Amino acid sequence: MREERNNLYPIFLKTSELQVLIVGGGFVAEEKLHFLLKSSPDAKVTMVAPMYREATVALANSANVVQIEAAYDAQFLEGKHLVIATTDIPEVNEEVYWDCKQRNLLVNVADNPPYCDFYMGGIVTKGNVKVAISTNGKSPTTAKRLRQFFEAILPEDINKLVQNLNTYRNTIQGNFAKKVQTLNKLTESLAKN
């Protein structure tokens, strides 16, 4: 029996330069918005839903998220780069998915892996260090536990190390390969402890 593996390619998106649409205004929309803003507080987000939970509105207002009170329509995809469908109506979520596919937009239909181009995994941020965790959409609970583990073991001052190494990197002469080789030698002892 061949062992499964995660073939997803992790990327870090500059959501301050992209237009994100969340379709839905309920609990799942709030959860997706919360984690998006926690990782990327400057994300450009628009939400569309016929109604919103009070807590969802409060979170959206705290981050200047555009809220449109309307039923989903494909016109709301205009100018968007990334779409997250979170409604409790499967037919609407599937419509969002197929509309996005026609427009070559990346889409995530919450809790429906076959209708996802990407998953929103666990994320740990400590200054400039960001660790993303994926279970290939199989176990959000495992991703959550791993996130909690990394949050606990990564020191709060790891950002200082990154800043110091960046300062040192800027003093090294030579091309990229030479800089990498020098920094690898310098940080080798960190991996041994």
pLDDT in tens, 114-169: 999 998 888 998 888 999 998 887 888 898 899 999 999 998 888 888 888 788 77
What's the whole-number mean pLDDT along residues 84-89?
97
Q: Say which residue, 188 or 73, is predicted with more confidence.
A: 73
Over residues 17-27, the pLDDT tens digits come to: 999 999 999 99
Band of the pLDDT at 95, cuts 50, 70, 90? Answer: very high
Considering the domain architecture, whether residues 31 and 82 belong to the same structural domain is answered as: yes
Contact between 85 and 108 (Cβ < 8 Å): yes
Query: Does 33 share its domain with 74?
Result: yes
Contact 24, 85 (CB under 8 A): yes
Give the end of a domain, one of 120, 146, 171.
120
What is the model's pLDDT at position 30? 97
Number of domains in the chain: 3
Examine the domain organization and report whether 55 and 125 are in the same domain.
Answer: no
Shared domain for 112 and 133, answered yes or no, is no
pLDDT at 180 over 90: no
Residue 12 lies in a domain: no
Q: Are residues 25 and 50 in the same domain?
A: yes
- Contact (Cβ atoms closer than 8 angstroms) between residue 178 and residue 169: no
On whether both 75 and 140 belong to a single domain, the answer is no
- Kindly report, residue by residue over 27-76, the tens digit of the pLDDT: 999 999 999 999 999 999 999 999 999 999 999 999 989 999 999 999 99
Domain extent, residue 147, equals 121-154
**What is residue 159's predicted lDDT score, i.e. its pLDDT?**
83
Q: Has residue 145 been placed in a domain?
A: yes
pLDDT score at 165: 79
Same domain (yes/no): 97, 62: yes
Residues 128 and 97 in one domain: no
